[in-house]
Amino acid sequence: MFRFVHSEYLHALYAIPVCIVLFWLYQKNQKRLLSKFSNWKLRSVVFEDKSSYKPFIKFGILMLVFALLIMALANPQIGTRVEEVKQKGIDVYILLDVSLSMKAEDIKPNRLEKAKNEISNLIRKLKGDRMGLVVFSGDAYIQFPLTTDYSAANLFLSAADEKTVPEAGTAIAAAINLAAKSFDYTATTKKVIVVITDGEDHEGDVTSAVKDAVGKGVMLYAIGLGSPDGVPIPIYNGNQPAGYKTDKDGKTVLTKLDESILKEIATNGNGKYYRGSNYDDELDLIYKDLSSIEKNEYGSQRVTNYESRFYYFLFPAVFLLIIEFFIPEKKSRLFTKLARKLKIDKNV
């Protein structure tokens, strides 16, 4: 198997035909200027030692050197062998509250963005662990299932916002049930659920949902975001503030952190509860705690081992560059002598 590690560098090869055209135009312009300066017979005397073909040889070598260096920079690799690699880790489902109350700005920039930043930081640190994301408001949906494709996970995470789930509310129980049902129980991996929410206006029987998940061997952690005192929910018109959310009577709605339900989830779920703040990364604290859990095998993957072969292109490039350096633009003495001799013989 063959591949280029940095195939994007190969786009630089498009510069070669451009350089060829520019070189041709330059040579053509030189001839035009010389023709104005003198006739052909005078040029043959004044520029007797100047080679007419060596500039083309030198230019051709430089273009070849450029192409070889680009190929070397792209780092070509050859697959030497295929190995069976065991995949080990834990399975983590993060339940992200995307209800409108998560737009409150008692945590900067707001509760939802704070949670997304922590999840994104966690994704960058994962090594072999599978992670999935459930978004919930009045109902719960899987944003992406358990995966080790962390790039795709970040992409789907960035798309999650308060419009992802159209139903209003905070259905924590539905989110826990959905995540617990979505684990692969044929694998012996440790299974963890992390709930990130302000815990307000929860719907359904959270206690039963936690009990069912624990019965399946799932651990539950919880992160509470917001202020227990309550803050208003800002409304924006585009990027411009347009006031605060109000109820049917026109009074400003205050959203409060409900820690009691989150502490209950963590306690009954054999996990821990963390109160969110502007300064700490609570999800990172949970991950450090989870890192102590023994990681079990959940599958295997065939991986091809590659070895770099950039020197196949680098060494010829250096060699050709040295050759180009020692090629003079003047005619060689031997060629000049032969040309003069042939001219004399012809005149005789």
Same domain, 148 and 220: yes
Query: What mean pLDDT do residues 167-176 have?
Result: 91
**DSSP strands (E only) in the chain:** 2-4, 76-89, 91-97, 130-136, 140-147, 191-197, 218-224, 231-232, 234-237, 240-244, 254-255, 273-275, 296-308
Number of domains in the chain: 2
CB atoms within 10 A of CB 151: 8
Of 45 and 88, the one with more pLDDT:
88
Same domain, 333 and 227: no
Does 261 have pLDDT greater than 80? Answer: yes
Q: Which residue, 300, 320, 338, sits at the end of a domain?
A: 300
User: For 267-319, how does the pLDDT look when each residue is reduced to its tens digit (9 = 90+)?
Assistant: 999 999 999 888 888 999 998 888 877 665 555 555 567 788 899 999 999 99
Is 248 inside any structural domain?
A: yes
Q: Is there a single domain that holds both residue 264 and residue 334?
A: no
Tell me the C-alpha distance between 13 and 18, whole Å: 10
Encoded amino acid at 243, one letter = G
One domain, residues 131 and 152 = yes
81, part of any domain: no
In a domain, 70, yes or no: yes
Instruction: Give the CATH number for residue 255.
Output: 3.40.50.410
CA dist 279 and 177 (Å) reads: 31
List, for residues 7-50, the tens digit of each pLDDT value: 899 999 999 999 999 999 988 887 777 676 655 555 555 555 66
Single out the residue of 259, 184, 179 nearest to residue 213, CA to CA.
179
Residue 64 has pLDDT above 70, yes or no: yes
State percent of the chain over pLDDT 90: 49
Is there a single domain that holds both residue 60 and residue 147?
Answer: no
Spatial contact of 105 and 145, defined as CB atoms under 8 Å apart: no
204 lies in a domain?
yes
Compute the C-alpha angle 157/199/208, nearest 5°.
100
Between 4 and 338, the higher pLDDT residue: 4
The reply to whether 80 falls in a domain is no
Tell whether 187 and 50 lie within a shared domain: no
List, in order, residues 6 or more apart from 54 with CB less than 8 Å away.
327, 328, 329, 330, 331
Cα separation of 153 and 130, whole Å? Answer: 10
Which residues, other chains included, contact 313 with Cβ-Cβ below 8 Å and sequence gap of 6+? Answer: 68, 69, 71, 72, 76
For residues 130 and 48, membership in a common domain is answered with no
Q: Are residues 232 and 284 in the same domain?
A: yes
Answering whether pTM is above 0.75, one says: no
Is 265 a member of any domain? yes
Exposed (0-12), middle (13-18) or buried (19+): which is 28, by Cβ within 10 Å?
Answer: exposed
Higher-pLDDT residue of 198 and 347 is 198
Rg (CA), the chain: 35
58 part of a folded domain: yes
User: What is residue 240's three-state secondary structure?
Assistant: strand
Q: Are residues 20 and 136 in the same domain?
A: no
Asked whether residue 141 falls in the same domain as residue 210, the answer is yes
The answer to the question of residue 82 being in a domain is no
pLDDT classification of 110: cutoffs 50, 70, 90: very high
CB proximity list for 337: less than 8 A, separation 6 or greater: none
Does residue 188 sit in the same domain as residue 228?
Answer: yes
Residue 50 lies in domain: 2-75+310-347
Local confidence band at 347 (pLDDT 50, 70, 90 cut-offs) = very low
Residue 238 or 230, more confident: 230
My answer on whether omega of the bond before 109 falls inside 30° of 0, hence cis, is yes
Calculate the average pLDDT of the chain: 85
Asked if pLDDT for residue 78 goes beyond 50, the answer is: yes
Residues 99 and 238 both lie in one domain: yes
Binning pLDDT at 50, 70 and 90, where does residue 336 land? low
Q: Which helix (DSSP H) or strand (DSSP E) does residue 211 occupy?
A: helix 206-215
